[in-house]
């Protein structure tokens, strides 16, 4: 074992059970710890959000755990940076007819961005979080690999983390399951042992992104013109503004065709929302842009991979091909349902993340 007592780790403590146990495990391993809780949105911004990640209750919980572990704890205010990057991007993507992954961008710009910078300023060697993932390295490349808990695995949201950031990252929970972590927390007497899992995007009130858009864009409804809903090349109704719709959506369309229909495409430029039968949601592939490689620095030739196109996706086999402009063409072995522009696509080789990108162009 390395001499961990000479290494300092900044632990991101959200006030939940996962980050609490991560800190406790690192202390047992002999590291010097500094607990940090990040405040990323204002408590008065969304009155409905009075609990969960970043709330006052969460900060108090994190501080309580830090006191129990005998480690220093600080709360850093990253609200301005979070607004400038994560929330503004979230709004911009929806206003362009895309569906973003804010947690992916938060990991890149906040946790492994400004938090990592702050950790370096504090003289820390590593940062750590309660993510269910593992960090590996081979041939000079760092990459994340699936955790032992398939249901809780969070590698999908980590694909944008840089090589330098990964080289300074510890994931203590990668070899455990969630039930393991709760049992540990109880045995350690941690206050957060029975904290419920967060199920929502931290800054979205009532888990309704439409409400967020209306709060952050006060003249939203005035800016949105009604447009055509298209089915089989025919107008069958009017939408109330394309940002209110997402691919695969069935409810709230206010259409009666005598059968289920779903949003299949959003054309922001022409202010149209396309709908189709369920079979119309299946596409052969897509082009991913804004690529970040992990396990390899590029794709020298086409390769097979398991590709996930949303967080809860178990993945599907596809062929990856890096095009001359650096984008990745993804062609599935079997057509894939509800591929959504703006979402992340993450490429896996076994348990290892090859890399990922943002879905931009759908291939029919």
Which residues, in sequence order, are bridge partners of residue 275? Answer: 231, 263
For residues 172 and 25, the answer to whether their CB atoms sit within 8 Å is yes
Rounded to whole angstroms, what are the CA distances from 10 to 23, 27, 34, 118, 354? 9, 11, 5, 9, 27
Q: Per-residue b/e over 252-266, b at no fewer than 16 CB within 10 Å?
A: ebeeeeeeebbbbbb
For residues 356 and 330, the answer to whether their CB atoms sit within 8 Å is no
Q: At what angle do helices 88-95 and 209-216 cross, to 10 degrees?
A: 100
Q: Which tokens sit at 162?
A: 């840089």
Chain centroid, CA 50 distance in Å: 21
106 is catalytic: yes
The span from the CA of 36 to the CA of 214, in Å, is 32
Rounded to whole angstroms, what are the CA distances from 155 to 135, 146, 149, 158, 254? 10, 6, 11, 5, 37
Tokens 């979402």 belong to: 343
Q: What is the CA radius of gyration of the chain?
A: 22
Active-site pick, 53, 54, 103, 202: 202
Rounded to whole angstroms, what are the CA distances from 73 to 38, 39, 113, 273, 286? 11, 13, 19, 49, 45
Q: Which tokens sit at 117?
A: 């910078």
Q: Which tokens sit at 103?
A: 């947690």
- The sign of the CA dihedral 225, 229, 234, 237 is negative
Q: Which tokens sit at 235?
A: 């107008």
**Catalytic residue IDs:** 106, 202
């Amino acid at each position: 074992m390395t001499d961990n007592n000479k290494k300092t780790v900044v632990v991101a403590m959200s006030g939940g059970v996962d980050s609490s146990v991560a800190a406790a495990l690192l202390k047992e391993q002999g590291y010097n710890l500094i607990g940090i809780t990040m405040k990323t949105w204002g408590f008065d911004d969304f009155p409905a959000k009075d609990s969960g990640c970043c709330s006052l209750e969460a900060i108090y919980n994190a501080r309580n755990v830090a006191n129990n572990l005998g480690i220093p704890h600080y709360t850093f205010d990253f609200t301005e940076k979070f607004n400038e990057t994560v929330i503004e991007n979230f709004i911009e993507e929806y206003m362009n007819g895309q569906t973003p992954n804010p947690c992916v961008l938060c990991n890149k710009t906040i946790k492994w961005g400004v938090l990592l910078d702050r950790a370096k300023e504090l003289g820390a060697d590593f940062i750590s979080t309660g993510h269910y993932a593992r960090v590996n390295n081979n041939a000079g490349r760092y990459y994340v690999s699936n955790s032992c808990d398939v249901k809780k695995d969070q590698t999908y949201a980590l694909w944008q983390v840089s090589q330098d950031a990964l080289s300074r990252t510890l994931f203590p929970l990668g070899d455990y399951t969630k039930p393991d972590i709760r049992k540990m927390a109880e045995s350690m007497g941690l206050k957060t042992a029975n904290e419920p899992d967060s199920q929502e995007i931290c800054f979205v009130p009532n888990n309704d992104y439409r409400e967020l858009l209306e709060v952050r864009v006060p003249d939203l409804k005035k800016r949105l013109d009604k447009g055509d809903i298209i089915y089989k090349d025919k107008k069958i109704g009017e939408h109330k503004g394309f940002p209110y719709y997402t691919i695969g959506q069935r409810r709230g369309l206010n259409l009666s065709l005598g059968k289920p229909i779903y949003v299949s495409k959003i054309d922001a430029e022409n202010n149209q929302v396309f709908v189709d039968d369920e079979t119309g949601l299946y596409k052969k592939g897509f082009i991913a842009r804004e690529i970040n490689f992990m396990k390899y620095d590029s794709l020298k030739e086409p390769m097979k991979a398991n590709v996930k196109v949303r967080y809860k996706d178990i993945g599907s086999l596809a062929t990856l091909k890096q095009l001359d402009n650096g984008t990745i063409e993804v062609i599935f072995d079997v057509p894939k349902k509800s591929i959504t522009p703006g979402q992340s696509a993450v490429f896996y080789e076994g348990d290892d993340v090859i890399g990922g990108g943002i879905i931009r162009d759908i291939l029919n």
